[in-house]
Amino acid sequence: MRSRRFAGALIALSLVAAACGDDDDGDATEDTEAPAEDETETTEAPAEDETEDTEAPAEDETETTEAPAEDETETTEAPDTGVPEGWPESIVFGFVPSQEQEDLQDDIQPFIEVLEAGLGIDVEGVVTTDYTGLVTAMGSGQAQLGAFGPFGYVLGKDNFGNIEALIQSIRFGSATYHGQWYTNDPSICTEPPVAATALENQDGEIVQVAATDAVALQVGVFFGDAGPELGETTDDGAEISPGSSCIGSLDSVVGKTVAFTTETSTSGYLFPALELTEMGIDPDADITPVFAGGHDAAITAVYNGDADIGLSFDDARRTIRGEQPDVGEKLIVFSITDEIPNDVVAVSSDLPQDLKDAIYDTVSSFLETEEGEAIFDEIYGWTDVRRAEESDFDIVRTAANTLGITEPID
């Protein structure tokens, strides 16, 4: 942890040094300890000035020896630790795995060090096994910060009440994202799939756009000097197929094996299951649901033919493009969910407001650096942040209540 010394500490030390240099030397008392005998006979009552010197030390002497100056007392009894008043000396920042747990622990460490330097207090970064563990840790006060998906945050807020959304992520200028439905069976499409395209929500309708015009970075697309470009390659130079899409109907999922991510994923289960329910399709009885355990695992299940249809965030096909460069060609996106508020950093409501502000400012400033942008892209794909607003999560809360999921799932 990198500690900081504040100007107040230096001022206090200067005052102590000045007070020590002003101590009286007591010469007046030594001069009048034992008057000579002749002096006693001629002066039966010592002069007023002599009496004051011997019987009552001067006011300045008394204050110096009997009652230390206020600045001295504050310095010795409550030394300045460099931590602003009301701040804890350490906090715990919890993360839910978006990749292998050990890899994420390594990836977050540089950010944790930046946060420590910016705040001047110890910050411990912890990767929990799942979102339930993070919800519990924050609800019980074992963690003060947590990176949540919107569904996990809503359940934590509603069940414990002592956490609040502080930071909302921005990806390529958007504070929302959507889940994508994809398949390995082009017959699901009402029209033939088109390479290098993607689906977006526009004015309440799903429309097909060029892959380079999509909000989320699509498989086969990379950032060039002029912005998003086609022609992404693997590290060894193999060409990565651009993602394909079509317009299809969710009615086609009936009787199919559908790979969801986890029951706690907003884009990988909650919103897709709500869509099916609102169409009169039972997400348990009318399909064969499987929970792959993660977005990359759901992609892999459909790629390998273990499931007919899958769900993930847009565009999770990128997660396996290094090993399977043709994933954009084999997995066709045929529908997308409604827009979902991006993930958040939640904070304990018990922390001082100036500490919450300092956390936000440190994260925002770090994202403006090349190092910060690279680290957050690797962890969660963030490109910017904004202050979170509680009302943005009402749509997630409504979806959870409709499906009857109102408590953290074990």
CATH of the domain at 292: 3.40.190.10
**Whether residue 225 is found in the same domain as residue 296:** yes
Q: Is residue 2 part of a domain?
A: no
Domain boundary among 77, 104, 123: 77
Are 372 and 244 in a shared domain? no
Inter-residue contact 199 to 207 (CB < 8 Å):
yes
- Tell me which residue of 306, 305, 329 sits closest to 317, measured CA to CA: 329
Domain boundary among 320, 340, 360: 340
Residues 198, 314 share a domain: yes
Q: What is the pLDDT of residue 379?
A: 74
pTM confidence score: 0.72
Q: Is residue 1 part of a domain?
A: no
User: How many Å apart are CA 162 and CA 157, to the nearest integer?
Assistant: 7
pLDDT digit of tens for each residue in the chain (410 aa)?
433 333 333 333 233 333 333 333 333 333 333 444 444 444 444 444 444 444 444 444 444 444 445 454 444 444 555 788 899 999 999 987 655 555 666 778 888 999 999 999 999 999 887 778 899 999 999 999 999 889 989 989 999 999 999 999 998 889 999 999 999 999 999 999 999 999 999 999 999 999 999 999 999 999 888 889 999 999 888 999 999 999 999 999 999 999 999 888 899 999 999 999 999 999 999 999 999 998 999 999 999 999 999 999 999 999 999 999 999 999 999 999 999 999 999 999 999 999 999 999 999 999 999 988 888 877 777 889 999 999 999 999 999 998 888 777 65
User: How many C-beta atoms lie closer than 10 Å to residue 243's C-beta?
Assistant: 30
CB 16 within 8 A of CB 71: yes
Range of the domain at 110: 90-174+342-402
Number of structural domains the chain divides into = 3
Q: Which residues of 311-349 are buried (b: 16+ CB within 10 A; e: fewer)?
A: bbbbbbbbbbbeebbebbbbbbbbbbbebbbbbbbbbbe
- AA letter at 168: Q
pLDDT recorded at residue 97: 64
Q: Assess whether 214 and 127 both reside in one domain.
A: no
